Structure 1
Amino acid sequence: MFKESFKKAEKNRKKAHRLTKEEFKADIQSALSNSSDLLFRDIFHHEKTILLVYLENSIKEDALSEDIIKPLNLLYNEALSVKNIYQSLNIGKLLLTNQLEEISQGIINGYLYIFIEGEDCGILADIGKKESRGLEKAETESLVYGPKISFTESIATNVNIVRNYLSDEKLAVEEIMVGNRLKRKVSLVYISDVADEENVSTFRQRITDLDIDSIIDASVLAQLIEDNSITLFPQLMSTELPDRFCMSLLYGKVGVLVDRSPISLIGPTSFYSFFETTEDVYVRWNIGTFLRILRFISILLSILLTPAYVAVLTYHYEVIPSALLTSLGESRSNVPFPPVFEALLLEFIIELLREAGARLPTKVGQTMGIVGGIVIGQAAVQAGFTSNILIIIIAISALGSFTTPSYLMGSTLRILRFPIIFAAGLYGGIGIMFAFCLILIHLLRQTSMGRPYLTPLFPLRLNDLKYSLIRAPISFYRNRPESNMPKDHIRFFKSDGRKKNDLDE
């Protein structure tokens, strides 16, 4: 290990003369903008002087004294060299380098640099503080049934969680450094004998080709590598749940973890994946199928119910049942606005309440959403701004949008309601169909990491319908989804485990 590291450092060694201690201090201070928390500590030896360089609040003080200073003091009467120091340190991660950029970046990331005057290279020792929160319940993905653990901001912890879930020797983790100014570690995770090589290569190429100063979060990375950054629809699944992440890897997908981000990315992803939850797998198949169908129906109601109200009251009075026509006329008799303006106003108020409730503290936000909706709705009806029937329709539409498990897809569907309502106000039912067809055409053109977005309906793959639209019994899931192009298609073979055998068999 030392020979390989030394050869690499020797190969990259500066061609200029060996730096003195004062020259090196000036260079590193300049590289780190003369930061006040940059500390230097001299260790005197009868032959040479050792200089320790580190950031004050980025390293462990006990590791500095026990793992660095104490071993160096024991070398006082011995010949001092990089090799001797390297072998005397009881630290797991040591790097030999003499490149100023590597040294400064290492110090920022919690390393301590050992400079030996007169030597060709020094040693970076990892004794940094790793600040991270403990394992907690996921905040953005609520589950009633199943594991509640979520990812954290530490990529090392997240990789360890994945390895605990998937104790598979074929689990591959590739580390990629992204960012020109702020380097961030990105891990590409997949099962090597299951994931399609083309999918893995697409992720790897798009991440490595990024030329950007920094990546703050995994959600930012998703926007940088997705196929179409203009569309409203998300093309990569983001999740905090390790079980969902690992389940996707077993199906042949590729995962991405980003350091200092609790969000993981999964792809390629289809449109229907955003309406699935891991709960669908944990409950019985008939309950899971019912819940999936319920979500799809509620999503259609969320998008089309309010535009249908606008279209009917504006152009298609003849479709209203006569028993309902009287009550509807009385409800709208005091409303001075056309139906399209009335609907847009109510939808805008609902979005205001939703955003206010999300930004306020938890207890206050819940009160704002409930009390605000009741008070404003009742006041709007009494003031003649809207009708009672529209209040009911808007409430059903809002509830329908909340059934979407993915926050990104739920936000997309809420935004889509506004142009569809506007089209319904202009052209009635024809406007709704025109807007709906435009959205469908747009979805047909979308891809996720080069794969069709509407699979398994387009292109049609009947065997994959059980992974998207319905939840079949477990015995039907012997094959992995064809849409992911897995190398190994078989998940398990048909078993006779349910057959009752005699004890002596």
Structure 2
Amino acid sequence: MRKRFRSNKQSDNVFPIAIDELKQLVQDNFPNNPDLAFSIYHHNGKKMAVFFISYMVENDKIEKYILGPSLTMEKEWSTQTLLNEIPLSVGKTSTSIEDVLYGLLLGKVFIYIEQEKEIIEYILLNKEKRSLEKAETESLVLGPKIAFTESLITNLNIIRWRIRSTDLVLEEIMVGKSIKREVRMIYMKSIANETDVNTMRQRLLDLDVDEVEDSAVLSQYIEDSSSNLFPQFDTTELPDRFTYAITKGKVGLLLENSPSGIIAPASLFSFLESTEDLYMRWQTGSFLRLARFLAMFFSMIVTPTYVAVITYHFEIIPTQLLLSVGESRASVPFPPLIEALLIEFMLELLREAGARLPTKVGQTMGIVGGIVIGQAAVQAGITSNILIIVAAMSSLASFTAPSYLLGTTVRLIRFPLILLSGILGFIGLMFGICLLIIHLLRLTSLGTPYLAPLYPLSLQDFNNVFYRLPFNMENNRAKFNRPKDLVRYSAKEARKKQDIDE
């Protein structure tokens, strides 16, 4: 709901009104605001008011396109005459004082002729924005390098530039009560599932919060269940990944002042996809996807497996390796459980410190700090060198996920699995994995099962998730996204290759 401004009349429509009363009304709603500019002009016995917030508008355009033509025109001032004479194409009229007062916060300039029934408004917002840059958290070797910015208009231009289709819908929704922000819901009208679109629209309209700081915060407000550990909506700063999801039948959200977009519905496996897979040969893309899946599973269980084996199941270790393990742990005073938790916590501290420090210093901290502290810990007998290797491999594997949110979730899951492995061995590890699978089976994203297409099983959609096929064989969209139009193109026509001499 929009914040209600104070009005001196019961009705929201106060026009026609004397300019002095209008000035007092505006100043009452913006007290102690020295940037509020309210100027009164006279022409042929009529009074005209021009008012705006100075730092939010382009003042040179006001002088050139509004005041210049208005003060020099020979015709008598009226609302329609000014609309015809002012050389700006974005002018419109309003009769709501609430819209006028709120429009000042959006960078609008208002012109009012005394005792007219309507007020004229122009959008001359002075936008401060940074230029297009490379993505920071989702770097690519192949493909487009530009990332979203905090300017919603710039982001929408990028989307329009990549999807040049009249089928593309950019629906505007305002969220936040005290601080309103514009959200654009983006989808392909002939492809996106209507239930997904309606559900997303309803969740945004029902959102009852003072403000939404960022798209990452917005996704937590509108996701299916905010108490779950796994992210249910994918966020990305890459326009190509965003538009690729839109053309597959998903729904996207862009928030004003946020440099990332939201993609829904999302499955667990969509967080491991990268558009870079499309830019490589299909064999290489398939290999990299499978490698990421294995790396995430490996990152989650390798340290708990080490703890379980060393604590309870050392008989499964080959004899030569067992001797090495025994030698490395001979001087370690802690049990494997405490040792593993200590090392994992130390790695988390190094990772967090590297992320918060400046780029060059952070890289040095991560590399040098890990080597120095790890070597010192082994020599001091605090930990074994084998656990250092295991923890380092686990940490490296967690960075293979294109999504930072999923990588963070996997690192967090590792700690309870280590505890269960240290207490109950392999039984505890399997118990933790079973609980995790049950949890994932219950999750949904915008009503879509979180483990689709693995559950419910859809073998024909595996090529959209686990591996890639040649483009001439990927003629259908994924069924688990429930698109209106399942067929992308004719597979028979795509396989035809006719040379110029045939």
Question: How does the TM-score come out when normalised to structure 2?
Answer: 0.95
1:195 match? 192
**What residue number does 2:433 align with?**
436
How many percent of aligned residue pairs carry the same amino acid? 49
CA separation of 1:160/1:325 partners in 2, compared to 1, >3 Å: closer, same or farther? same
Q: CA deviation at 1:34?
A: 2.6
Shift of 1:97: 2.1
Aligned with 2:52: secondary structure? strand
- Aligned AA for 1:74? T
Alignment partners' CA distance in 2, 1:230 and 1:14: 41
Q: 1:398 is aligned with what amino acid?
A: S
In structure 1, the partner of 2:97 is 100
1:297 aligns with 2:294: yes
Q: Counterparts in 2 of 1:274-313, with a 5 A limit? A: 274-313=271-310
Residues in 2 aligned to 1:422 and 1:107: alpha-carbon distance in whole angstroms: 57
**What SS is found at the alignment partner of 2:190?**
coil
The 8 Å contact of residues 40 and 48 in structure 2, kept in 1 or not, is answered as yes
Q: Tell me, in whole angstroms, the C-alpha distance in 1 between the residues paired with 2:259 and 2:15.
A: 45
Change (3 A) 1:14 1:249: closer
Cα distance in structure 2, aligned partners of 1:255 and 1:412: 23
Give 1:294 deviation, angstroms: 1.0
Q: Give the paired residue count.
A: 493
* 2:332 partner SS: coil
Aligned mates of 1:309, 1:194 — CA distance in 2: 48
Q: Distance in 1 between matches of 2:352 and 2:20?
A: 56
Distance 2:213 2:31 in 1: 22
Match of 1:132 in 2: 129
- Is 1:387 equivalent to 2:370 in the alignment? no
Question: Residues of 2 paired with 1:39 and 1:16: CA distance?
Answer: 21
Q: Distance in 2 between matches of 1:180 and 1:501?
A: 60
Q: Distance in 2 between matches of 1:214 and 1:86?
A: 35
* Contact kept in structure 1, 2:13 and 2:96, CA below 8 Å: no
Please state if 1:326 is matched with 2:335.
no
CA distance in 1, matches of 2:497, 2:314: 63
1:456 touches 1:464 (CA, 8 Å); kept in 2? Answer: yes
Measured in 1, the distance between the counterparts of 2:283 and 2:338 equals 42
- Alignment gaps of 5+ in structure 2: 1-9
Give 1:13 deviation, angstroms. 7.0
Matched letter for residue 456 of structure 2: P
Number of the residue aligned with 1:24 = 22
Q: Which stretch of structure 1 is more off in the superposition, 400-409 or 18-27?
A: 18-27
Whether the aligned pair in 1 keeps the contact of 2:12 and 2:96 (CA below 8 Å) is yes
1:36 and 1:98 mapped to 2: Cα distance? 26
CA RMSD of aligned residues (A): 1.6
Q: Can you give the 5+ residue segments of structure 1 that lack an aligned partner in the other structure?
A: 1-11
Decide whether the 8 Å contact of 2:232 with 2:266 is kept in 1. Answer: yes
Task: Pick from 193, 202, 206 the counterpart of residue 203 of structure 2.
Answer: 206
Instruction: Give a deviation string over 1:195-249, Cα, whole Å, max 9, x none.
Output: 1111111111111111221112111110111001011101111111111111111
Q: Which of the numbers 33, 49, 52 marks the counterpart of 1:51?
A: 49
Conserved 8 A contact 1:91-1:126? no
- Aligned twin of 1:5: none
Match of residue 236, structure 2, among 229, 236, 239: 239
Structure 1 residue 169, shift from structure 2 partner: 1.5
Q: Give the C-alpha shift of residue 499 in structure 1.
A: 5.6
Amino acid across the alignment from 2:33? S
Query: Following superposition of structure 1 onto structure 2, how do residues 82-481 of structure 1 map, counting pairs within 5 Å?
Result: 82-481=79-478
CA distance in 1, matches of 2:268, 2:40: 60
- What is the CA-CA distance between 1:324 and the residue it aligns to? 1.0
Q: Distance in 1 between matches of 2:349 and 2:178?
A: 38
Query: Aligned partners of 1:474, 1:42: CA distance in 2, in Å?
Result: 65
Q: TM-score, normalised by structure 1?
A: 0.95
Q: Secondary structure at the match of 2:381?
A: coil
Q: For the structure 1 residues 17 and 406, does the alpha-carbon distance in structure 2 shift closer, same or farther, using more than 3 Å as the test?
A: closer
Kindly provide the amino acid, as one letter, of the partner of residue 39 in structure 1: A
Q: Is the 8 A contact 1:150 1:240 kept in 2?
A: yes
Cα-to-partner distance string for 1:323-356 (whole Å, 9 max, x where unaligned): 1111111111111111111100111110000000
* CA contact 2:473–2:491 (8 Å) conserved in 1: no
Which stretch has the larger CA shift, 466-475 or 348-357? 466-475
Distance in 1 of aligned mates of 2:301 and 2:224: 28
In 1: Cα distance, 2:495 partner to 2:454 partner: 33
**d(CA) in 2 for partners of 1:360 and 1:33?**
41
CA separation in 1, counterparts of 2:410 and 2:53? Answer: 47
Deviation at 1:31, TM superposition (A): 1.4
CA distance in 2, matches of 1:293, 1:147: 23
Equivalence for 1:72? 70
Summarize the Cα distance change of 1:116–1:13 in structure 2 as closer, same or farther, 3 Å threshold. Answer: farther
Contact 1:344 1:421 in 2 (8 A): yes
